[in-house]
Amino acid sequence: MPSLFSRARTNSIPGKKSARGSGDHAANHDEFGRVKSRDSGHGNPLSFTSKKDKDKEKKKAIDSKHRKRTISTPKPDGDVANLVAQIPDGSFLPLNLDRPRDESGEVKTLEHDYGYLSYERHVILGLDQVARLVDVIANELTSRCLTTPFIFSALALDISSSAIKRLIRTFLDTCANPSSEVDQRWREEARFAGPHELGMCIRWGLARVVRVVGGQAVRGLISWEHYTEFRDSEAGM
């Protein structure tokens, strides 16, 4: 009598065909009757990645590789592009709070508003506005926030998106309607803001500076080459 735990096949079931002699259909089963997995290269409908998906991913990778625009180069609208053409190379663009408009004159809807620095990203700040923003926030940071860790980090836990936007809106009011009352409101907002909100606001302001390099608008106060030269000189001291 065969053991119940033996793996040897028996003919206890009459009329059951052998897997080896039942053709292609039976060849897809093993000796225990389990269905074998098909080869993914023979048109398996259950394969996770089809040839069409692979071709689409390959085309996407090629398009991304040959993309000429970079994150540091903003895409200007018509007014900004005309302004860039009139400004000498190496100069900074003046204050511009106008929202971009389409061909019909309607205000464009800004999409993909992600992160703290992308809020009101159409704004261009001149050097005078950036200097005023940095002066107010730097005084607040040096007076009460020097011991706070991760002041300029977006990963800080104690940070409020609504507070950052309120701080930015209050500062933009001083640019659109300059007056002593509006300026006082901005300074009070900065005085009662948290350290991380102040850090994100100053980062936002520095990211709104646009200078002309080679006839194109480029973000940042200095070039990347000047920054790396400064960084290497500091590391060598």
Tokens for 46? Answer: 């259950």
* 83: exposed, middle or buried (Cβ count in 10 Å: 0-12, 13-18, 19+): middle
Q: DSSP 3-state assignment of 165? A: helix
Q: What percent of the chain has pLDDT over 90?
A: 30
Does one domain contain both 204 and 119?
Answer: yes
Contact 190, 212 (CB under 8 A): no
Does one domain contain both 126 and 164?
Answer: yes
Helix H, strand E, coil C: the string for 48-107 is CCCHHHHHHHHHHHHHHHCCCCCCCCCCCCHHHHHHHHHCCCCCECCCECCCCECCCCCE
Task: Give yes or no for residue 37 having a pLDDT over 70.
Answer: no
Q: DSSP 3-state assignment of 124? A: strand
Does one domain contain both 47 and 114?
Answer: no
* 113: exposed, middle or buried (Cβ count in 10 Å: 0-12, 13-18, 19+): exposed
Contact 90, 221 (CB under 8 A): no
Rounded CA gap, 141 and 73, in Å?
Answer: 30
Q: Would you state the pLDDT for residue 226?
A: 87
Q: Would you state the pLDDT for residue 158?
A: 77
Is 50 part of any domain? yes
Tokens for 167? Answer: 């701080």
Q: Give per-residue pLDDT as tens, 118-173.
A: 888 889 999 999 999 999 999 999 998 777 888 888 777 778 889 999 999 999 99
Helix (H) or strand (E) run with residue 210 in it: strand 210-213
Tokens for 49? Answer: 């990645």
Task: Give yes or no for residue 99 having a pLDDT over 80.
Answer: yes
Q: Give per-residue pLDDT as tens, 82-94.
A: 777 778 888 899 9
Domain encompassing residue 33:
23-65
Q: Would you state the pLDDT for residue 26?
A: 47
Q: Would you state the pLDDT for residue 124?
A: 93
Is 73 part of any domain? no
Does one domain contain both 51 and 100?
Answer: no
Whole-prediction pTM:
0.61
Is 237 part of any domain? no
Q: Would you state the pLDDT for residue 83?
A: 72
Q: How confident is the model at residue 2 (pLDDT cuts 50, 70, 90)?
A: low
Total number of domains constituting the chain: 2
Helix (H) or strand (E) run with residue 213 in it: strand 210-213
Per mean pLDDT, which of 1-15, 147-161, 183-197 is the most reliable? 183-197
Sole residue written with tokens 């053991």: 3
Is 87 part of any domain? no
Q: DSSP 3-state assignment of 216? A: strand
* 69: exposed, middle or buried (Cβ count in 10 Å: 0-12, 13-18, 19+): exposed
Average model confidence (pLDDT) for the chain? 75
Q: Would you state the pLDDT for residue 74?
A: 47
Q: How confident is the model at residue 43 (pLDDT cuts 50, 70, 90)?
A: very low
